[in-house]
């Protein structure tokens, strides 16, 4: 679900100990989107090409 992450590690030598901090690239970010005012659209060269307002911001 959106609050938990599962992973499979096939290599026993690279097990992750409980409490170890790891970096995870999220594949689903709906809960995070409403925390920001805008999306900044960047092209493949790193140039800002557009700004999109987040319509869901502050909708309580």
Q: How far, in Å, are 2, 20, 32, 48 from residue 43 at the CA level?
A: 27, 34, 21, 7
More confident residue, 49 or 9: 49
- Residue-level pLDDT at 19: 87
Contact by Cβ (8 Å): 47, 21 = no
Tokens of 43: 């092209």
**Does the global pTM surpass 0.85?**
no
Per-residue pLDDT tens digits for 14-52: 778 888 887 776 677 777 777 889 989 999 899 999 999
- Residue-level pLDDT at 26: 67
């Amino acid at each position: 679900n959106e609050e938990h992450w599962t992973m499979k590690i096939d290599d026993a030598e690279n097990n992750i100990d409980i409490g170890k901090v790891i970096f995870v690239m999220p594949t689903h970010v709906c809960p995070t989107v409403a925390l920001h005012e805008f999306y900044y659209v960047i092209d493949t060269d790193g140039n800002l090409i557009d700004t999109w307002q987040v319509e869901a911001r502050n909708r309580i």
